Structure 1
């Protein structure tokens, strides 16, 4: 006679099978996919294609495999914060803390590289993994279910992002770029281009810097005196002079709190602000004034 726990698992699986018959489908904008392995044959591979620069994938009760191609509607020429136009595209995946039941691979020209392994309950949260591809390079994500007797608690879910070539100033991969490249100060050309291409451009002061060892990042707490631009509501407050927000950067950059006003620029990565160029504001003003006089500024900014 089956035990009570077996009956409970069977009931949950039956309920999802009844009410989630239409789970295996795309979001309306084809940015996300949600499906159940209950409808898949053992050993089968379901082909999925997503067409946004960011989205999610939720695979309940993984069985068989999924092959995911990312075909974002990005500009034909990817422009990085330094103004380069290499066409290189960077993709990052962020597994959920409850990622179970599958292994995630990068498939590049038919060769598989493990990005995220199946996790035990006691395992630490999986890290963000990033990779790059050149125009025309064949790259896909391959999820393979791992055998489990109890599949009722197995859900493989992750978020993804695709951007232009921004690896020069951001890397959250387990094999990060050298701290020399990631932490070096921007030159004047890079600063002026960052003002035009960054997700946020903010003048402010550093209140404090905290270390997040799990994220391997320094969290810079900023008091913003002027928000020139922000893609999301990163810096908020009751008035323009009391806006506050947080910016992350690599831990090895050794950012410390100090006096003075800075111009913070950077990218939004999975809903969080990550630092790009951050000159002292007076140094930015000087570079901007010289470039404007020479008619060499890539875009206008209302500086003081």
Structure 2
């Protein structure tokens, strides 16, 4: 059934029938409505986005939508990019598939609103084909998601998406120092579990701020240092405890996600050993 539908879609594209091209005004985000379609037609809209992150919102979905992610990067870099999509809360009205050369693989089933679930795939594995499911009443139906394009090297080395609970190796720690969106030395002040999102929110008291790309950590008037919140999966079992850590990670869908977090004394050892061997990728103060 799906294969027949998809082949019909591509024939329409080739013949220029029943399809329309939609370009986002800012090339990062797209918002459209199925109400522009005639109900008896199997319309297919093509959307082209050229940013590393953004969102898609399809109101009253009917027919199908093809989302083409075409980042402004060298063709040779495509094989190193991973696409992650995060469905919006209460997204419904369509199934989302990964499509390549006429083959469909279901990514997100209509109505599957697992808390904070993220779906990732290599950009070379295909594009996104979104098919509206039959609805007697399409009112208040919105299919939507946020998307991000991530370097596969960054994805694997920082564990922010692939395996956030696994301890980082010495090599991964040294790389994380150089490429993380935030690097701070501090301690865990409190941990709050968000059971709905299945996440732990870590309140960090910062002794030294090395880097942050956005205002994750702000001055703390009481301690004279800095403080901020970092998220990780609840299954990782992060607890409040004594000792200093080097917290590193990246922004993921607008939120700071924990990557590597070795105890600071362990980081000092790892860094000094790499310095003695001339293997450090970048310099950082360890005083």
TM-score normalised to the size of structure 2? 0.80
CA contact (8 A) 1:88 1:132 kept: no
- Looking at structure 2, the residues matched to 106 and 126 of structure 1 have their Cα atoms a distance apart, in angstroms, of 21
Which runs of 5 or more structure 2 residues have no equivalent in the other structure?
A: 1-21
Of 104, 120, 143, the match for 2:130: 143
1:101 equivalent in alignment to 2:98: no
Of 26, 36, 41, the match for 1:39: 36
CA contact (8 A) 1:90 1:167 kept: no
Residue in structure 2 matched with residue 129 of structure 1 by the alignment: 118
DSSP 3-state at the match of 1:236: strand
Alignment of 1:18-57 (within 5 A): 25-28=23-26, 30-41=27-38, 42-57=41-56
- Looking at structure 2, the residues matched to 251 and 138 of structure 1 have their Cα atoms a distance apart, in angstroms, of 30
Alignment of 1:213-252 (within 5 A): 213-238=195-220, 241-252=224-235
Per mean C-alpha deviation after superposition, the further-off stretch among 153-162 and 292-301 is 292-301
Residue in structure 2 matched with residue 7 of structure 1 by the alignment: none
Residue in structure 2 matched with residue 301 of structure 1 by the alignment: 284
How far has the Cα of 1:75 moved from its partner? 6.7
How far has the Cα of 1:74 moved from its partner? 4.9
TM-score normalised to the size of structure 1? 0.76
How far has the Cα of 1:299 moved from its partner? 0.9
Q: How many residues align?
A: 260
CA contact (8 A) 2:220 2:227 kept: no
CA contact (8 A) 2:115 2:197 kept: no
Residue in structure 1 matched with residue 148 of structure 2 by the alignment: 161
Per mean C-alpha deviation after superposition, the further-off stretch among 203-212 and 34-43 is 34-43
How far has the Cα of 1:267 moved from its partner? 1.6
Which runs of 5 or more structure 1 residues have no equivalent in the other structure?
A: 1-23, 79-85, 172-176
Structure 1 segments, 4+ long, off by >6 Å, are: 75-78
Residue in structure 2 matched with residue 256 of structure 1 by the alignment: 239
- Looking at structure 2, the residues matched to 75 and 283 of structure 1 have their Cα atoms a distance apart, in angstroms, of 38
**Root-mean-square deviation (CA), in Å?**
2.6
